[in-house]
Amino acid sequence: MSHSTQARPATAHKGAPLKGRVRVPGDKSISHRAFMFGGLASGETRITGLLEGEDVLRTGEAMKAMGAVISRTGDEWVIQGTGNGCLLQPEAPLDFGNAGTGSRLTMGLVGTYDMETTFVGDASLSKRPMARVLDPLREMGVQVLRAAEGDRMPITLRGPKHAAPITYRVPMASAQVKSAVLLAGLNTPGVTTVLEPVMTRDHTEKMLRGFGAELEVETDANGLRTIRIQGQGRLTGQVIAVPGDPSSAAFPLVAALLVPGSDIVIENVLMNPTRTGLILTLQEMGASIDLLDRRSAGGEDVADLRVRSSDLRGVVVPPERAPSMIDEYPVLAVAAAFAEGTTVMEGLDELRVKESDRLAAVAAGLKANGVECREGEASLSVTGQPDGKGLGGGTVATHLDHRIAMAFLVMGLAAEKAVTVDDQTMISTSFPEFMDLMTGLGAEIQTDRAA
């Protein structure tokens, strides 16, 4: 199951139009939280549509190691949770593989427990900054017993006898940091308050409420959100249907826009407004994306997306839109490479600390494939070649980053020359069905022999 074994390159070629109806796997953010909150709540949680990617399965393993009972029956995952405040000390380090969300949220969830917990991850995760979560946890009384230089993993935490409730203003636009503090608040007496100046995905707030947490949100005239959670309350198991992941849908969606003659439908995609920035941006670029059968499912908006190949034009993407499309910039940059004119993306500082330095990785991948682009400290501008003429022919360094791999395979489907990614094994962290789904639509992607 480890993606860090042997690299396997893959190559995408320009080919026939993409056609068909597909379903992408369940939303990664909701799937992580479903395992966590189900594992923590009293009684039974039943989950359908869960993303069975490596990242999420590792969160499930971590919850099991702390006392939750988790099994899969047919299409359903069934969890018997421990009850809030009743997680057990794991016997071994918790291995989160590639997963920032799994590790950071779990640090919040268990950091305040009066026990020792060690967090380890792969080479990519071990480079990522964890101070953003450890800093508020320290304020709550959590000891960081061990950490690699610069507050990186491996990390060992030990909680206090009783954690202190804090008011914490999240210093960067990060749903993971917001969530870690709120989850720490679950095991803390009194009210923990998070101030969020820039709204990020709100799955933690919505789902915790669904599980019965006393959580309230107020938004002031400047958009500052104040989120208060009452600690040590009871959480009760829920039935959860996980909608399709818009961040995964982004790949077949952009592929269908770029490959001439394509016409596809992607069913049951999450349309939470904190996640739809890419669709809005592509529509501004001239994309034909119809939202069919908009409906509500399990407390979230979902829709089927009909996508037809389109002539795109460059736009300026405003920085304040970044949180609602933060994982989509690699594939947006690929779309921009086929648009008329220049697309300017700003406010991208958080891209530097994702599974890879995504700003550098995208710019390098575009340049390797003949695309004119400029990388700034926190910005990227890409000048497109509408017919893809002269583009492609390069090999992209993926740096253990699933979204870099998928984005550049999409590029290869529309570029004049094939595009190779140096590794595709880590795609299984978020989208194990990617190759089958894309080739099922008619895409020509070959997995090459192990490098």
> What residue ranges bind ligand S3P (CB under 6 A)?
29, 101, 174-176, 179, 201, 326-327, 350
Nearer residue to ligand S3P within complex by CB, 80 or 176: 176
Q: Which of 105, 99, 146 lies closest to 126 in space, CA to CA? A: 99
Q: Among residues 55, 327, 401, 423, which one is catalytic? A: 327
The distance of closest approach from Cβ of residue 288 to ligand S3P in the complex, given in angstroms and rounded to an integer, is 27
Element (H, E) at 256: helix 246-258
**Hey, which residues does 383 pair with through a beta bridge?**
342, 372
Alpha helices in 98-191 (DSSP H): 100-111, 131-139, 175-186
The distance of closest approach from Cβ of residue 179 to ligand S3P in the complex, given in angstroms and rounded to an integer, is 6
- Beta carbons of 401 and 354 less than 8 angstroms apart: yes
Nearer residue to ligand S3P within complex by CB, 326 or 445: 326
The Cα–Cα gap between 243 and 108 comes to: 25
Nearer residue to ligand S3P within complex by CB, 61 or 328: 328
Q: Which of 81, 126, 87, 85 lies closest to 103 in space, CA to CA? A: 126
The distance of closest approach from Cβ of residue 174 to ligand S3P in the complex, given in angstroms and rounded to an integer, is 3
Q: Say whether 174 counts as a known binding-site residue.
A: yes
Q: Say whether 358 counts as a known binding-site residue.
A: yes
Q: Say whether 327 counts as a known binding-site residue.
A: yes
The distance of closest approach from Cβ of residue 159 to ligand S3P in the complex, given in angstroms and rounded to an integer, is 22
Give the Cα-Cα-Cα angle 99, 271, 107 (nearest 5 degrees). 25
Q: Say whether 428 counts as a known binding-site residue.
A: no
- Distance separating the N- and C-terminal Cα atoms of the chain: 18
Q: Say whether 128 counts as a known binding-site residue.
A: yes
DSSP annotation string for 185-230: HHTSSSEEEEEESS----HHHHHHHHTT--EEEEE-TT--EEEEEE
Q: Is 263 a catalytic residue?
A: no
Nearer residue to ligand S3P within complex by CB, 380 or 445: 380
Return binding residues: 28-29, 33, 100, 128, 174, 176, 327, 354, 358, 403
Return binding residues for 3-phosphoshikimate: 28-29, 33, 174, 176, 327, 354
Q: Would you please indicate which residues are annotated as catalytic (active-site) residues? A: 327
